[in-house]
């Protein structure tokens, strides 16, 4: 089988799909935009130029390293994505960033669409696959449509009450995207209609899409894997401040505003509580500037560095309002870090109350404050969960994910006839 996997960013879950097919002996090409090629001449020049502007481009590019696939299997088209990334690091205008994202997405989509002759399978991702799926359909190439996130209108329905409660969070970017929601939903619907097979990362994600009422599709649910777990938990101090870690965009969708409200309600200073936030900012600047001193912002960091930071925390705090999976949960478990999250994260299926973490109600600042107080009052109990977290990560690794993805895709290509695959049980 000759397979193409196409995603705008070489995130771990995208690389593992390509690696699954490659490791299975299939002729696989991974199409993406910007990857870390530190020895490439243009990247060496770009690093030097960015350094003159005070930007550590090497650190940013390190987050785009391809680690599970041979470099010769990767084809990249970096220019538009590089411009988008530089805008984030300089002007950081969310509306301009949205325009640049769509400009880059459309260019990438059209480029991959021209590369598909001779392929048997195209594995594309939600909101970035319309042109390539149309080309695949014309060429008789099977298509698999990966859904990393819940259906967009379902997400908006869950977030709307939060924006009603906190109107200060309705930013120009929020109004900009809201005005374009209908057309963006329509693009997703067209991609869905062109897909032969749908792959979701959790039952939560799959259910939001099948409830949208579009044409029936076979949906395979394959949860993301965990990185290799540590051999043993790293001990953490039982005295001093309670150290919690946040990983990912600090946004309303992830419950960031509710975390700040909870910490303000507790009134604890950094001598008792320290919450280290690693990820891009998604809240208004004035809200972040007014954050309690116990919350410390570090920006985005490369994944290996994030995993090391996880080892020194007491727990991951992930009070998401809506998340298709929440890969940070698996990453935390792999470092022996217990997890606090909500039932609206697909990865909540992995959390066992009081054994490897805790589940709280989504959208409830009081629930966040209560669980923080609970962790603070039972340091020994929290530390005792670290071994169970490691066992959870060991139970479903990335190699398990790759095996299952490969089985699903091989079956899809082997099924005779064009068009959507027959519905499974």
What tokens were used for 244? 């919690």
What does the pLDDT read at residue 132? 98
Asked if pLDDT for residue 425 goes beyond 60, the answer is no
Number of helices (H), then strands (E), belonging to the chain: the values are 18, 13
Q: How far, in Å, CA of 218 to CA of 421, rounded? A: 6
Q: How far, in Å, CA of 373 to CA of 367, rounded? A: 10
* 181 sits in which H/E element: helix 181-194
Digit-coded pLDDT (tens) for 323-370: 999 999 999 999 999 999 999 999 999 999 999 999 999 999 999 999
How many C-beta neighbours within 10 Å does residue 172 have?
11
Digit-coded pLDDT (tens) for 229-273: 999 999 999 999 999 999 999 999 999 999 999 999 999 999 999
Question: What is the percentage of the chain residues whose pLDDT exceeds 70?
Answer: 100
What does the pLDDT read at residue 236? 95
Q: How far, in Å, CA of 51 to CA of 34, rounded? A: 19
On whether the CB atoms of residues 201 and 225 are closer than 8 A, the answer is: no
Q: Residue ranges of the alpha helices (H) in 53-123?
A: 57-62, 79-89, 94-113
Full strand arrangement of the beta sheet holding 74-76: 74-76, 27-32, 2-6, 121-125, 142-147, 197-200, 219-221
99 three-class SS: helix
What is the average pLDDT across 44-58? 78
Question: What is the percentage of the chain residues whose pLDDT exceeds 90?
Answer: 88
What tokens were used for 76? 């990249």
Per the listing, tokens 């005295």 go with 239
What secondary structure does DSSP assign to 252-289, as a single string? TTTTHHHHHHHHHHHT--TTTEEEEEES-B-S-HHHHH
The model's confidence at residue 203, banded by pLDDT at 50, 70 and 90, is: very high
What is the average pLDDT across 153-167? 93
On whether the CB atoms of residues 365 and 220 are closer than 8 A, the answer is: no
What tokens were used for 217? 């599709």
Q: Is the dihedral of CA 394, 237, 251, 258 positive or negative?
A: positive
Higher pLDDT, 89 or 199: 199
How many C-beta neighbours within 10 Å does residue 178 have?
13
How open is the CA angle 195-201-206, to the nearest 5 degrees?
60
What tokens were used for 386? 């670290």
Q: How far, in Å, CA of 399 to CA of 122, rounded? A: 21
Asked if pLDDT for residue 70 goes beyond 90, the answer is yes
* 19 sits in which H/E element: helix 12-23
What is the average pLDDT across 189-207? 96
| 185 to 126, 150, 152, 154, 285: CA distances (angstroms) | 11, 12, 7, 11, 29
Asked if pLDDT for residue 42 goes beyond 90, the answer is no
What tokens were used for 204? 């939560």
Digit-coded pLDDT (tens) for 117-156: 999 999 999 999 999 999 999 999 999 999 999 999 999 9
Residue 388 CA to its chain's centroid (Å): 24
What is the average pLDDT across 383-396? 98
What does the pLDDT read at residue 246? 98
Q: What is the pTM of this model?
A: 0.91
Q: How far, in Å, CA of 212 to CA of 250, rounded? A: 28
327 three-class SS: helix
What does the pLDDT read at residue 48? 81
Average per-residue pLDDT in the chain? 94
Higher pLDDT, 251 or 55: 251
Q: How many residues does the chain have?
A: 425
Asked if pLDDT for residue 47 goes beyond 60, the answer is yes
On whether the CB atoms of residues 130 and 108 are closer than 8 A, the answer is: no
What are the start and end residues of each CATH 3.40.50.2000 domain in the chain? 2-225+398-414, 242-395
| Class of 242-395 in CATH | alpha beta
What does the pLDDT read at residue 424? 62
User: Comparing C-alpha atoms, which of 269, 129, 258 is closest to residue 192?
Assistant: 129
The model's confidence at residue 68, banded by pLDDT at 50, 70 and 90, is: very high
Question: For domain 2-225+398-414, which CATH number applies: 2.60.40.10, 1.10.3720.10, 3.20.80.10, 3.40.50.2000?
Answer: 3.40.50.2000
Digit-coded pLDDT (tens) for 72-103: 999 999 999 989 988 988 898 999 999 999 99
Asked if pLDDT for residue 104 goes beyond 90, the answer is yes
Asked if pLDDT for residue 377 goes beyond 60, the answer is yes
User: Comparing C-alpha atoms, which of 247, 221, 219, 411 is closest to residue 327?
Assistant: 247
Q: Which residues pair with 296 in a beta bridge?
A: 276
Digit-coded pLDDT (tens) for 285-301: 999 999 999 999 999 99
What tokens were used for 237? 């101090």
Q: How far, in Å, CA of 295 to CA of 276, rounded? A: 6
Asked if pLDDT for residue 46 goes beyond 90, the answer is no
How many C-beta neighbours within 10 Å does residue 202 have?
25
Q: How far, in Å, CA of 146 to CA of 195, rounded? A: 10
């Amino acid at each position: 089988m000759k397979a193409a996997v196409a995603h705008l960013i070489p995130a771990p879950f995208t690389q593992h799909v390509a690696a699954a097919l490659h490791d299975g002996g299939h002729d696989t090409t991974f199409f993406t935009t910007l990857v870390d090629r530190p020895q490439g001449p243009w990247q060496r020049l770009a690093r030097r130029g960015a350094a003159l502007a005070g930007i550590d481009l090497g650190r940013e590019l390190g987050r785009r390293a391809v680690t599970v696939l041979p470099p010769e299997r990767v084809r990249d088209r970096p220019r538009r994505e590089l411009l988008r990334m530089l805008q984030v690091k300089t002007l950081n205008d969310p509306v301009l960033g949205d325009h640049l994202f769509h400009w880059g997405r459309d260019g990438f989509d059209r480029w991959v669409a021209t590369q598909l002759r001779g392929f048997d399978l195209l594995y594309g991702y939600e909101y970035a696959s319309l042109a390539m799926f149309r080309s695949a359909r014309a060429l008789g190439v099977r298509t698999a449509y990966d859904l990393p996130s819940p259906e967009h209108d379902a997400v908006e329905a869950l977030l709307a009450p939060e924006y009603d409660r906190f109107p200060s969070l309705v930013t120009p970017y929020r109004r900009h995207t809201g005005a374009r929601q209908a057309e963006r939903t329509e693009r997703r619907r067209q991609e869905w209609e062109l897909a032969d097979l749908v792959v979701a990362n959790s039952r939560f994600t799959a259910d939001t899409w099948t409830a949208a009422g579009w044409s029936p599709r076979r949906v395979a649910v394959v949860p993301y894997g965990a990185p290799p777990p540590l051999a043993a938990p790293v001990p953490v101090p039982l005295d001093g401040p309670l150290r919690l870690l946040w990983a990912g965009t600090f946004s309303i969708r992830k419950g960031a505003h509710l975390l700040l409200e909870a910490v303000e309600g507790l009134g604890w200073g950094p001598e008792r509580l320290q919450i280290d936030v690693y990820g891009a900012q998604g809240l208004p600047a004035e809200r972040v500037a007014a954050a309690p001193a116990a919350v410390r912002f570090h920006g985005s960091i490369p994944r290996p560095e994030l995993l090391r930071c996880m080892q020194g925390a007491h727990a991951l705090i992930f009070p998401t309002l809506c998340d298709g999976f929440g890969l940070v949960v698996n990453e935390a478990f792999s470092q022996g870090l217990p997890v606090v999250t909500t039932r609206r994260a697909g990865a909540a299926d992995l959390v066992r109350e009081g054994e490897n973490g805790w589940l709280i109600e989504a959208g409830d600042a009081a629930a966040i404050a209560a669980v923080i107080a609970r962790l603070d009052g039972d340091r020994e109990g929290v530390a005792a969960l670290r071994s169970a977290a490691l066992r959870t990560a060991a139970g479903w690794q990335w190699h398990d994910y790759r095996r299952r993805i490969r089985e699903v895709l091989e079956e899809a290509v082997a099924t005779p006839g064009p068009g959507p695959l027959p519905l499974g049980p």
